[in-house]
Every structure is written in structure tokens, then in C-alpha cells.
Structure 1
Amino acid sequence: MKTIIIGGTAAGMSGAVKIQKMAENPEVVVYEKGEVVSFGACGLPYYVGDQFHDSRQMIAREQAAFEKMGIKVKLFHEVTAVDTLNKTVTVWDSQEGKSFTDTYDRLLIACGAYPLTPPLKTPDAAKYENLFHLKTIGDGRALKTYLRVEEVQHVTVIGGGFIGVECAEALLHQGKQVRLIQLDEHLLADSFDSEISEVLEDKLRTAGVALHLGEKVQDLAGGVDEESIARVHSVVTDQGEYATDLVVMAIGVRPATQMLGSEFDKLANGALIVDNQGCTNVADVWGAGDCATVPHLVTGDNSYIPLATGANKLGRVAGEVIAGADSYYPGSLGTAGVKFLALEAAHTGITEADALKLGLSFKTVVINDKNQTDYYPGQKDIRVKLIYDDQTLVILGAQIVGENGAALRIDTLAAAITMGMTTKQLGMLDLLYAPPFARTWDVLNVAGNVAKPGRKPAAQPVG
């Protein structure tokens, strides 16, 4: 059985390893358009900020290790078309400068996503030398090199999601003056409600980041210098124009599924719709990673949650299914976290905004507490928000912001949501207590005990 895998990062290589280990007489070929496989892009902001210096530390496993297992890995090879009727793929070999066709028995699409650029008045603005995205290992190396130019002092980050916030910290570490422009009224608006975002926003402002919320980027103004190099000089928004020496674009990603035909079911953004085995609606074709949906554990919807955790897990499951196993991915909660200087924030499940959109009957509770005892050095503020069903008290989502280990508390809440725990059970959960780590009643216990029903259940008929 020959399996072709499109894309060699988290989902693709997780699937490749499982197929190679489990399938009978496997032949696995991975086509990756980039220069490396098994690369963790989440480390890029920390590499740019000099938290470590060897970019290859972000590679979980080298190409040679996969080839030693018997997996054929073809770098600099981009799949440009898929013919599901004849079970072929068209591949562009960028090193040889030519295309060829290959055949498959099974196909795993794990081609990831590409970074977005907002609609700009200047159509060729993307050609500016000092405009960067942060998606590939090459992006990280190029940005880090450019930041060493002495004249680069004012840097603008466009986008206030995870990458945007992490980039802002990295640029501060590099001694730059940082401006961050966000279209939404709050940072990380898809992941956090305002009670959490506002703490993060205050931290950025206190650190010296010029924060522009609710502001729309309209253009990048620039020109060609005496060296015939095109550079952006300022960022133009609906509220002003700001001089800059460098721009980092971090407004999000879109699934790289443009080479797939109309026979595939997709979300409006192009994400492949797959089930909890990674199966698409097309026979013998699976999908996983940032190009595909994942089943949401709370809502049951096909959700687009481009995170490495879900990509690895669903890629693994898809590989096992391709190899003949009856495996299933239970679903994602979108659990994720972000750090800015000493401040940590994390979320899991659905937000209050999500619950409103879904029309759920719910309540929320926000608790301001301390992370540990006051007599042990290092006590810090911590804030927890719970979203829960107002009748059953089942927890639907949670968010945390604080310091000194605040973010990892979200793992307890992710486990609680997965197991269908109620706020009442959370209130009495036997959590760790020791002066350096928590108080006798941890903030999670407090939040659970404060969360009460919103209304009494309707009376049931008798008889």
C-alpha cells in the first residue's frame, strides 16, 4: 500500500510514522515544499527574541531519522494538484524546476496553512523587504537577521493574536520600540473574553508597547531607495499613519487547500472537513493539521483550530486508520496559552462570546484571587473565569491569567471539561496545597464554589 502525505510538519509526520510502523508492506512518501520536516513553528517568537540561538532546535526529528525508518521524504516538493479520480498528485520540484505526477493508494493531506495579509490599497506592498511573516524556519532566520540592522528601531506588529503578542515580547527583548495594531477591540479576541484580555493589554502598555485596539490597517506606505530596494516606511490605518522601520504581519492563517478540487467538503475558509478519524468525504483521502477541521469536544462542531496539539493527535489517528486500525480522535478543546514577560494567560473550551453565538443557556463567574500563600515569596494576582451550563453546572469553558504557574492550571480545567465535571465537583476537587504553589482553597476551588445555578429546573409532571 502506497500512501502519499502532503506536508511534513506536525500532522503529516505523525501520520507517516504510524503508517510506517503499523501498515502491512508500507510505502510512505512525504512531499514537503519547505526545507525541513517535523518543524515546530511555535518556537519562532522565542528564537527571534534570543531565548535560544540554534534554529534547528525547533526541529523535532531530522529528515535522516525518518528516512532511516523507511519513510521517503522529499523536501522542496510542492503538491500543486490532486486528481482523486485517477489517484494522482502533481508535484512541483522547485530545485529541479519541473513538475511530475505520482500515484497513491491512500492520501493524507496535511499541507498546513499560509499566513494572511490584510487587503491593502497598495497591491505590491507584500514585496517590501522589511515586511515579514513568522511561519517558517526561513521566516524566523530572516527576521532575526534583519533586526540586527542598527537603523531598525521602530517595529510594528500587525495582529494581536498569539503570534502577535509573542512577537511583541520578542521585539522588546531585542531592544526595539514596538507598536501593535489590532483590528478587534481586544487582544486574542477569539480565545479570551474581555476580563482576561484587559489584564494582558495593561501588561503590554506597562512594558512600553504602543497598543492600538479597534484599528484597521489600510495600507503600507513605502518606496524604493537609492539601492533599488523597496521598503515600507509607515503603516496607514483608519485612524492614523505611523512611521516604522520594519513590519511583522501576524493576522492569522488560512488553510493551504487551494490545490484541491470542488469534490472536497470544506469550511468557508477552505479548511477540509474531516471526521474524528481524519476521513474526508472523498474515498481514500484523509486530512489533518492546520489545513483541516477538528471535532470540538464541547460544541460537536467541525471547528478550525490551527494548533500543534490537535494536529499531532489527529495526524496520529489518521495514520493509524490508514494502516488499518479503528482509532478515533475524541475532540479538541482548543486549549492554548500565551506568555508576555512574567504574565501568563490560558484558555480551554468555549468563551462567553462563543456561548452567546451558540445560543446556549449559561452563566459565568470571574474570581480574582492569589496564586499562593502571602508568607511565601512570590505571591501574585490570579484571575479565573468559568463558563458553565446554568442548569446542570457542567463546565463549558475556562480562562486564566496571572503569574508563577497560572497558565498550567488550565490543564486541570481541560480535564474537567473533558470528563463533564460540574462547578460543584470542581469546588471540592482535591487539588494540591503547599505554600509555594497554592492556597488551601485553590482559586479553581473558589471559582467552582462560587458558580451557582442561574435558574431552577422546570418542574417535572407527576405520574
Structure 2
Amino acid sequence: MKIAVIGCTHAGTAAILNAANLYPNAKITVYEKNDNISFLSCGIALYVAGIVKDPQGLFYCSPEKLEELGVETKMMHEVLDINIPNKKIKVKNLNNNEIFEDTFDKLIVTTGSWPIVPKIEGIDLGNVLLSKNFYHSNTIIEKAKNAKNIVVVGAGYIGVELVEAFEMNGKNVTLIDAQDRILSRYLDKEFTDMAEDAFKEHSIKLALGEIVERFEGTSGKVSRVITNKGEYETDLVILCIGFRPNTDLLKGQIDMLDNGAIVVDEYMRTSSKDVFAAGDSCAVIYNPTGTHEYIPLATNAVRMGTLVARNLVKPTTKYMGTQGTSGIKIYDYNMASTGLTEYSAGIKGKEVKTVTVEDSYRPEFMPTYDKAKLKVVYEKDSRIILGAQIISKIDLTQTINTISICIQNKMTIDELAFIDFFFQPHYNKPWNLLNQVGLSAE
């Protein structure tokens, strides 16, 4: 069996490692257009902030390790064309510009995503940077050394984490987003308000509900960001607007969402026989709605990549779907969410109810007993849990992993009231926060 893999980040690495173990007689060839593989891009902000000192720790695999498994890794090789009916790919060796063809029996597409780069006047000016790969992180660190004022455009996870990192390094930071609040995809307003207050307390300027109209520069480098509501002096701009799937090579050949995300079934098969896909290039089955959605997360990627390998020869292990579970730390606050927020449920046309509990996470007779806020979203008629969010200064984010399981198993808010959780005064109360939410909903 001849397996060709295009792209080697989270999903690609998981697919390759598992395929090499499951099919020791297969010939596996990996095509990667960069000169490194398996970079943890979610660690960029930690690297920028100086929390991660050695960036090599952000790589969890290497061509040498793959070679030990009998995998041929062709670095600096860009796939130019994919011919699915004839099972051929055209490849360019970026080292010497040689172009050649290869064939495959099974094709694994793990091409990932790329930052959205809008057509804004002045976007090609110097010091307007992206944040995705290892080279971006090094460029950001180098450029930030001499920057006094930094503007981050985009208030999703990456943008928010970079803002905190820059502020920790003593920079004057402005965060711009077209939405009127940060992290709007993941948390409801009562949670994002608390995070925004933390930013303001650290003198970070929030320019929310503003659309960037153009960048202006001096001597070829950006010096000002102009929005529909204001102007911001800057030495450096980081674009964190979002991501789009890297799937242009396959357009018209397999089924995709409107944004280009590849649609795969529960066995990671595309609409074309012998072509599998995983990771940020794909849409995933989103359990709260039962629809295919684009949710580019490392957790989804490694699960999907592993499943590709297991199902490559015959369907064996189904994908269980995702809740889009994620977490973030903003200064003293630990925050996490899963599934639908009240806001996103409204956009999806779901009739929901919510319940929120704010309480000390453990008994008040303990030396400390910080407050935690937990909100659960559930369907109005069926009372099935659809989502949850938590915020606290003590780390209670694993609570959201528990609710993720509840959503996956279609549990109701009423069942949550009486689930068996342990009690120990160091950690919680006799009625766990999760129980309290269920009781409050009843």
C-alpha cells in the first residue's frame, strides 16, 4: 500500500505516526513545504511572552523520528496539483525547483489552515505580521524588541493571548476587533466583560466594534492603523483575524463547505474513495447542532489524524464528534467553554434556556474559597445540555471537560443535578458546582 500525506502539523503527524505502526509494510511518503514539522502554534504567545524559553520544546516530532519508523519525509516539497481520478500528485522540490509526479493508493490530506489576510490598504507595509508558524513567532519576537506601540487585530484566542504577552513585556498594546467584545465565539458577555476589565486594569486599550480601514506607514513600515472610529499609532501590527482551510488543490474534486473546509464522514473519508482528510483543513461534526462546522483546534486535529490511520484500510473506529471545547488563561482568570453559548445558540436558531451559579468553589471554613461562575446552556423543550462556560481565579477548567462529555452523551440539565461527584473540602462542596447548576435549573 502506497500512502501519500500532504502536510505535517498536528493532524498529519498523528496520522503518520499511527499509520506507520498499523501498516508496517506500507510505503508512506510525506510532503511538507516547510523545513520543519509538528510546530505547536498554540504555544506562540507563551514563546513571545518568554514563558517558554526554548522553542524546540514546541516541536513534538521530527523527520528523523519519522525516518526511524520507515517514513520518507520530503521537506521543502510543495504539492502543486492533485489528480484524484488518476491517483497522482505533482510536486515541486523547493530546494532545486525540480517538478515531478508521484502516485498513491491512499491520500491523506492534512494541509491545515492559513491566517485570513483581508484586502486592506497598506497591508503590505513592513511590520504588519501574521501569527501562525515557527517563523512568524521568531519574526514577532525580533520585531517587538524595538517596538513601543503594538496593535493586535483580532480578539480571538491567539490575539488575546498575544496582547497579554506584549503587555507583560512592557509594550503599549491596542486590541482591535470588529465585534463589540473579545472572545465572542467562545463566551457570553458576562464572562468576556470580566476578561475585558482585566485588560483595562493592565492599561491595554480595547478598540472593539471597530473595523480596520487602512494601514498608513512611514519609510515603508506601518506607523498608524485607521479604523472607522479612530486612529492608533503603532510600530508593529499582528493580524489575528482568523483562519481559512488550505484546500484550494482539491476544489471541485471533493465536497466542501462554502469556506473550503473539507467535509469528512465519521471515518474521516472524503466524498472521494481512498482520499482521507483531518485537521484544520476539515469541517467537523459539531454535536450540539449535529451539523458540520469549521472548528480549527489542535485537539480536533490530533483525534482526526489518529482516526484517519485507523480507518485507512477499512472503517473501524467512528469519530464521536466535537463540542469545540477550549480554555484560556487571561491574567488571573481561568476560563473555559464547550458547545453553544447563549449568544451562538440564538444565531443558530436554537430555543434555549440558561442557568448560572456563582459560588465559592469549596467550603467557606477553608483558608481560601475563591468564587467561580458557571453557566450552562440547554435546549428549552428537551432540556438537553448544549454548552457551558466557567470563569474563576482558581483553576476549575476541568469542569468544562465534564460538561463536554454530558453534551456528547446528550444528557439533560436535570440529570446533571444528581451525577455522582466526590466531595473533599480541599476541592469542592458536598453539592458540586455542576450539581448546583442542575438543581438550580429544576
- TM-score normalised by the chain length of structure 1: 0.92
Which letter does structure 2 place at the counterpart of 1:357? I
Amino acid at match of 1:175: G
Please list every run of 5 or more consecutive structure 1 residues that lacks an aligned counterpart in the other structure. 225-229, 453-463
SS in 2 for 1:313: helix
Distance in 1 (alpha carbons) for counterparts of 2:381 and 2:112? 40
Q: Distance in 1 between matches of 2:424 and 2:96?
A: 62
Q: Distance in 1 between matches of 2:53 and 2:189?
A: 35
Question: After the TM superposition, which residues 230-309 of structure 1 pair with which residues of structure 2 at under 5 Å, given as runs?
Answer: 230-309=220-299
The letter of the residue matching 2:104 is Y
Which one of the candidate residues 420, 432, 453 is aligned to 2:410?
A: 420
Q: Distance in 2 between matches of 1:432 and 1:171?
A: 40
Check if 1:155 corresponds to 2:136.
no
Matched with 1:82 is 82
Alpha-carbon offset, residue 308 of structure 1 = 0.6
Displacement of 1:232: 0.4
SS at match of 1:279: coil
Of 191, 207, 210, the residue aligned with 2:202 is 207
Stretch of structure 1 that moved more, 136-145 or 369-378: 369-378
Q: CA RMSD in A?
A: 1.6
SS in 1 for 2:359: strand
> Residues 3 and 238 (structure 1 numbering): CA distance in 2 closer, same or farther, change over 3 Å?
same
- When residues 423 and 115 of structure 1 are mapped into structure 2, their CA distance, relative to the original with a 3 A threshold, is same
Give TM-score scaled by structure 2 length: 0.96
Question: Structure 1 residue 195: deviation in Å?
Answer: 2.0
* Contact persistence 1:50–1:173 (CA under 8 A): no
Within 5 Å, which residues of 2 pair with 1:30-429? 30-122=30-122, 125-126=123-124, 128-149=125-146, 152-224=147-219, 230-429=220-419
Residue-by-residue CA offset, 1:313-348 (whole Å, 9 max, x unaligned): 111111111143522111011000111111111111
Say if 1:395 and 1:420, in contact at 8 Å, map to a contact too. Answer: yes
CA gap of 1:335–1:31, structure 2 versus 1, over 3 A, is same
- AA aligned to 1:439 is K
CA distance in 2, matches of 1:421, 1:194: 25
> Structure 1 residues 99, 280: CA separation in 2 closer, same or farther (over 3 Å shift)?
same
Unaligned runs of 5+ in 2: none
Q: What is the distance in 2 between the residues matched to 1:417 and 1:371? A: 23
Q: Secondary structure at the match of 2:248?
A: coil
State the SS of the aligned residue for 2:95: coil
Corresponding residue SS for 1:259: helix
1: distance between equivalents of 2:363 and 2:140?
42
CA displacement at 1:372 relative to structure 2: 2.6
Query: For the structure 1 residues 144 and 300, does the alpha-carbon distance in structure 2 shift closer, same or farther, using more than 3 Å as the test?
Result: same
Distance 1:374 1:93 in 2: 65
Query: In the aligned structure 2, how far is the partner of 1:373 from the partner of 1:132?
Result: 48
**For the residues of structure 2 that align with 1:377 and 1:97, how far apart are their CA atoms?**
67
Give the whole-Å Cα distance in 2 for the aligned partners of 1:176 and 1:326.
52
Distance 1:64 1:24 in 2: 17
| SS of equivalent residue, structure 1 residue 424 | helix
Deviations 1:203-238 (Å, cap 9, x if unpaired)? 1111211011111111111132xxxxx210011100
How far residue 35 of structure 1 moved from its aligned partner, in angstroms, is 2.0
353-362 vs 186-195, greater mean Cα deviation: 353-362
Specify the code of the residue in structure 2 equivalent to 1:100.
F
**Post-superposition shift, 1:411?**
1.0
Superposed displacement of residue 36, structure 1: 1.5
Q: What one-letter code is carried by the residue in structure 1 that aligns with 2:250? A: L
Question: Amino acid of the residue matched to residue 209 of structure 2?
Answer: G
**Aligned counterparts of 2:165 and 2:361: Cα–Cα separation in 1:** 26
Q: Tell me, in whole angstroms, the C-alpha distance in 1 between the residues paired with 2:385 and 2:251.
A: 40
User: Residue by residue, what CA displacement relative to the aligned partner does 1:263-285 show, whole Å, maximum 9, x if unpaired?
Assistant: 22111111111111111111211
Whole-angstrom CA distance in 2 between matches of 1:102 and 1:429: 55
CA-to-partner distance for each residue in 1:141-197, whole Å, 9 max, x for gaps? Answer: 111122222xx1111110000001110111112111111001111111112221221
Give the Å deviation of 1:400: 1.0
CA distance, structure 2, for counterparts of residue 377 and residue 156 of structure 1: 41
Q: Which one-letter code corresponds to 1:204 in the other structure?
A: F
